[in-house]
């Protein structure tokens, strides 16, 4: 019988030699011997193709009653197995939240209207159990001290399920007569917007664009913002939820998405007029084809509201100002998959304010990222 440390060292060696199945086998056993992160790595490795097996594996661990283990079972159920929030799932999330589990509380808060008693109860529970996370998310608002009642579980379950139904019933509005650009307000909750910004801002780096000649990322004056690319090692429940909302709104599949980009523009930064779709030269490059082919759609989400820094489509004469929680989607190609010339657009410069947003570029086919994060 090997120790956990020996198993992890062995897994590392296999990873270095690209021997993935042996490496994950070591993680599986290390997980069963009590190493939680090895167990989660293994579970997320098998979840895209075998979500049920991933949940069974986690549920059979010796520490299967730990909130973290239960939370990840629920996450796998929601995004890989059922692909929706159902009654059982929300009730278990509420039980974890009642016990003070921070991530469960944040997920539930993101599904709840502000200024309601349910919101105040969830906020209070987060403040009491996780004061540091509370302070970051609510910027020091000390109001939770007023709310001392315990969570009213049935009301929370009903609230979350009703919110899901109301979001599914929402319809997008075409902004131009051909429906190239569409918008939908109030899709992301304030908590989702604030959380995405706070959680991922530490990953910000200068933005890149793809070199039209060889497809390699490069710095260019055309795009001066900073960007955080939320790759699969950083995704969590909230970021996946945002992606699902973006894909519903644009009638695309979450599996076809590239990783989300979090963008920050400040001090005159901008994204000059450009196409998101690839040129014919870029489409001949294997790296682009392998990763799902042409970028057919773009979905933007604004994380704050501004009266500058609009997204502008000069050929369509459309100007959309950032509005917190609003999604905008547009087509980068026409019916024949040729570049949609009308999709030419820019992010206008900001002067006095910071502009925070998310961009999702969606490909014609599945991406490796999409399958890993949303199942196959
Ligand atoms: O900043 C904007 O409003 C547009 C961003 C954009 O065009 C992009 O990320 O592709
Ligand atoms: Fe763009």
Give one DSSP letter per residue of 147-189, joined into a string. Answer: --PPP-HHHHHHHHHHHHHHHHH---EESSTTSSEEEESS-S-
Contact 359 CB / ligand 1 (< 6 Å)? yes
Residue 49 lies in a domain: yes
| Residue found by looking up tokens 């929300």 in the block | 90
Contact 144 CB / ligand 1 (< 6 Å)? no
The number of distinct structural domains making up the chain is: 3
**pLDDT tens-place string over residues 262-277:** 999 999 999 999 999 9
Residue 247 lies in a domain: yes
Mean pLDDT over residues 149-156, rounded?
84
pLDDT band, residue 281 (cuts 50/70/90): confident
What is the model's pLDDT at position 218? 80
Query: What Rg, from alpha-carbon coordinates, does the chain have?
Result: 22
Contact 311 CB / ligand 1 (< 6 Å)? yes
Task: Collect contacts of 330-334 with beta carbons under 8 A, ≥24 apart.
Answer: 330/180, 330/181, 330/182, 330/297, 330/298, 331/180, 331/296, 331/297, 332/275, 332/276, 332/277, 332/294, 332/295, 332/296, 332/297, 332/298, 333/277, 333/294, 333/296
Question: Are residues 199 and 64 part of one domain?
Answer: no
Question: Are residues 179 and 153 part of one domain?
Answer: no
> Which among 229, 270, 308, 311 is the best mutation to test ligand 1's pocket, defined by most ligand atoms within 8 Å of the CB?
311
Residue 120 lies in a domain: yes
pLDDT for residue 150 is more than 90: no
* Complex ipTM: 0.99
Question: Are residues 236 and 129 part of one domain?
Answer: no
Q: Please, are residues 303 and 358 in contact by the beta-carbon 8 Å criterion?
A: yes
Q: Which residues does 238 contact at the CB level (< 8 Å), separation at least 6?
A: 106, 107, 110, 192, 195, 196, 199
- Ligand found nearest the CA of 306: 1
What is the model's pLDDT at position 146? 58
Question: Are residues 331 and 229 part of one domain?
Answer: yes
- The dihedral over CA atoms of 36, 39, 44, 47, expressed in degrees to the nearest 10, equals -130
What is the model's pLDDT at position 144? 64
Mean pLDDT over residues 51-74, rounded?
96
Question: Are residues 328 and 184 part of one domain?
Answer: yes
Mean pLDDT over residues 311-322, rounded?
98
Mean pLDDT of all residues belonging to the chain = 94
d(CA 310, CA 332): 19
Question: Are residues 282 and 185 part of one domain?
Answer: yes
Residue 95 lies in a domain: no
Mean pLDDT over residues 342-348, rounded?
97
Residue 177 lies in a domain: yes
Which H or E run contains 327?
A: strand 327-331
**CA-312 nearest atom, ligand 1:** 3
> Which among 357, 360, 362 is the best mutation to test ligand 1's pocket, defined by most ligand atoms within 8 Å of the CB?
357
What is the model's pLDDT at position 147? 58
Residue 89 lies in a domain: no
Question: Are residues 157 and 76 part of one domain?
Answer: no
Residue 269 lies in a domain: yes
pLDDT band, residue 289 (cuts 50/70/90): confident
User: End of a domain among 56, 83, 110?
Assistant: 83
| Residue found by looking up tokens 């304030």 in the block | 190
Question: Are residues 162 and 44 part of one domain?
Answer: no
pLDDT for residue 238 is more than 90: yes
Mean pLDDT over residues 199-225, rounded?
84
Selection from 239, 227, 174 nearest residue 374 by Cα: 239
Question: Are residues 368 and 233 part of one domain?
Answer: yes
pLDDT for residue 318 is more than 90: yes
**CA-322 nearest atom, ligand 1:** 3
What range defines the domain where residue 243 resides? 170-374
**pLDDT tens-place string over residues 22-35:** 999 999 999 999 99
User: End of a domain among 54, 83, 112?
Assistant: 83
Which CATH number covers residue 193?
A: 2.60.120.620
Question: Are residues 160 and 185 part of one domain?
Answer: no
Mean pLDDT over residues 114-123, rounded?
91
| Residue found by looking up tokens 């579970």 in the block | 43
Question: Are residues 357 and 329 part of one domain?
Answer: yes
Which of 246-250, 281-285, 313-317 shows the lowest mean pLDDT across its residues?
Answer: 281-285
Distance, C-alpha 164 to centroid of its chain: 17
d(CA 150, CA 233): 34
User: End of a domain among 48, 83, 118?
Assistant: 83
Residue 88 lies in a domain: no
What is the model's pLDDT at position 140? 64
Strands 295-302 and 327-331, by their bridges, are antiparallel
Question: Are residues 14 and 117 part of one domain?
Answer: no
């Amino acid at each position: 019988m090997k120790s956990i440390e020996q198993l992890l060292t062995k897994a590392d060696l296999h990873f270095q030699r690209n021997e993935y199945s042996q490496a994950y086998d070591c993680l599986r056993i290390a997980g069963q011997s009590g190493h939680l992160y090895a167990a989660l790595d293994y579970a997320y490795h098998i979840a895209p193709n075998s979500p049920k097996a991933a949940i069974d594996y986690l549920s059979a661990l010796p520490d299967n009653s730990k909130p973290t283990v239960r939370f990840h079972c629920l996450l796998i159920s929601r995004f890989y197995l059922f692909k929706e929030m159902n009654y059982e799932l929300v009730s278990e999330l509420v039980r974890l939240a009642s016990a003070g589990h921070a991530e469960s509380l944040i997920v539930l808060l993101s599904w709840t209207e502000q200024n309601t008693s349910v919101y105040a109860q969830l906020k209070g529970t987060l403040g009491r159990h996780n004061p540091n996370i509370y302070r970051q998310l609510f910027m020091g608002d000390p109001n939770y001290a007023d709310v001392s009642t315990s969570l009213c579980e049935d009301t929370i379950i009903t609230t979350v399920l009703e919110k899901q139904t109301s979001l599914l019933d929402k319809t997008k509005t075409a902004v131009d007569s051909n429906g190239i650009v569409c918008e939908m307000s109030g899709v992301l909750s304030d908590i989702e917007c604030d959380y995405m910004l706070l959680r991922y801002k530490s990953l910000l780096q200068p933005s890149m664009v793809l070199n039209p000649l060889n497809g390699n990322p490069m710095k260019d004056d055309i795009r001066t913002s900073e960007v955080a690319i939320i790759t699969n090692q950083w995704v969590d429940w909230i970021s996946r939820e945002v992606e699902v909302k973006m894909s519903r709104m644009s009638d695309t599949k979450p599996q076809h998405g590239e990783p989300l980009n979090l963008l920050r523009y400040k001090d005159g930064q901008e994204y000059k007029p450009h196409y998101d779709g690839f040129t014919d030269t870029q489409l001949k490059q294997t790296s682009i084809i392998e990763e799902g082919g042409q970028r057919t759609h773009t979905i933007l989400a604004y994380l704050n509201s501004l009266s500058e820094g609009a997204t502008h489509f000069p050929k369509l004469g459309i100007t959309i100002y950032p509005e917190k929680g609003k999604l905008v989607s547009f087509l980068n190609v026409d019916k024949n998959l040729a570049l949609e010339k009308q999709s030419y657009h820019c992010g206008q410069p900001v002067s006095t304010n910071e502009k925070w947003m998310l961009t999702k570029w969606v490909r014609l086919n599945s991406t490796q990222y999409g399958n890993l994060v949303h199942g196959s």
